């Protein structure tokens, strides 16, 4: 049986990041601002024109894990504009005041964007009961990736728990998009546990700083690792 290719997603912030990501072998890009918020339409348009790889665009208007009814209509409108510009999908994720997955809001947004693939973005790591959070995530329509580090402090802390979850729960492994401090040593074990997509950001910028553009050589080293 042929081995399944592990998808490599690279976070980009502007048009100048795109050549390095695509030339290095990224399968998909995630576009957000440096603060992890929705980019303006001019930036999104430039990135989408430049990229030959599929692009998902962040839907987030504040730096917290929740959203409001007032923001909801703006998020739907933004998503529709990103998709009209050529986005393959979107990324969002909300918790309720009890730090549980906000199934109602997430479902409503997903259903407002029918047949659009999307990523539940990293706030799952803030949930107080991870096992219940992952059960809730499986009920969300259209969801095909959950960006997670296993801990709010990143994979340096959350890796063991995330790997254990992947090993014990194939459905969770299939959704996992490990990111937030991923290092090469993590990859073989996660792949053996059934993880089929990974996310990198600062790892593919020289010096690990957002002041540097995504570098094709850095991306290629991750692509070679995933393919080896």
Q: C-alpha angle 39/99/61, rounded to 5°? A: 15
Please list the alpha-helical segments (H only) found in 55-154.
Answer: 69-85, 103-112, 130-137
pLDDT of residue 69: 75
How confident is the model over 37-82, as pLDDT tens digits?
999 999 999 999 999 999 999 999 998 888 877 899 999 999 999 9
For residue 13, give both structure tokens.
């912030």
Please state, in angstroms and rounded to a whole number, the distance separating the CA atoms of residues 152 and 45.
31
For tokens 């007032």, name the residue: 70
pLDDT of residue 160: 97
Q: Domain ranges for the chain, please list them.
A: 7-227
Cα 162 from chain centroid (whole Å): 16
Please state, in angstroms and rounded to a whole number, the distance separating the CA atoms of residues 189 and 172.
15
Please state, in angstroms and rounded to a whole number, the distance separating the CA atoms of residues 193 and 170.
8
pTM of structure: 0.95
Quickly name the fold that domain 7-227 has: TIM Barrel (3.20.20)
The whole-chain average pLDDT of the chain stands at 95
Are residues 124 and 146 in contact, defined by beta-carbon separation less than 8 angstroms?
yes
pLDDT of residue 1: 35
């Amino acid at each position: 049986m042929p081995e399944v290719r592990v998808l490599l997603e690279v976070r980009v912030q502007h048009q100048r990041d795109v050549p390095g990501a695509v030339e290095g072998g990224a399968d998909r890009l995630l576009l957000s601002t440096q603060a992890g918020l929705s980019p303006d339409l001019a930036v999104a348009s430039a990135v989408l024109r430049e990229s030959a790889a599929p692009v998902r665009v962040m839907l987030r208007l504040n730096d917290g894990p929740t959203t409001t009814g007032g923001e909801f209509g703006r998020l739907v409108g933004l998503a529709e504009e990103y998709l009209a510009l050529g986005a393959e999908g979107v990324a969002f994720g909300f918790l309720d005041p009890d730090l549980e997955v906000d199934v109602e809001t997430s479902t409503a947004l997903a259903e407002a964007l029918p047949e659009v693939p999307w990523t539940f973005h990293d706030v799952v790591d803030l949930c107080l009961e991870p096992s219940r959070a992952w059960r809730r995530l499986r009920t969300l329509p259209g969801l095909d990736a959950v960006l997670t580090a296993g801990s709010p402090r990143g994979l340096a802390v959350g890796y063991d728990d995330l790997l254990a979850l992947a090993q014990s729960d194939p459905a969770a492994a299939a959704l996992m998009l490990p990111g937030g401090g991923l290092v090469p040593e993590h990859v073989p074990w996660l792949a053996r546990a059934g993880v089929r997509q990974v996310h990198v950001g600062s790892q593919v910028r020289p010096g690990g700083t957002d002041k540097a553009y995504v570098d094709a050589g850095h991306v290629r080293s991750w692509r070679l690792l995933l393919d080896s």
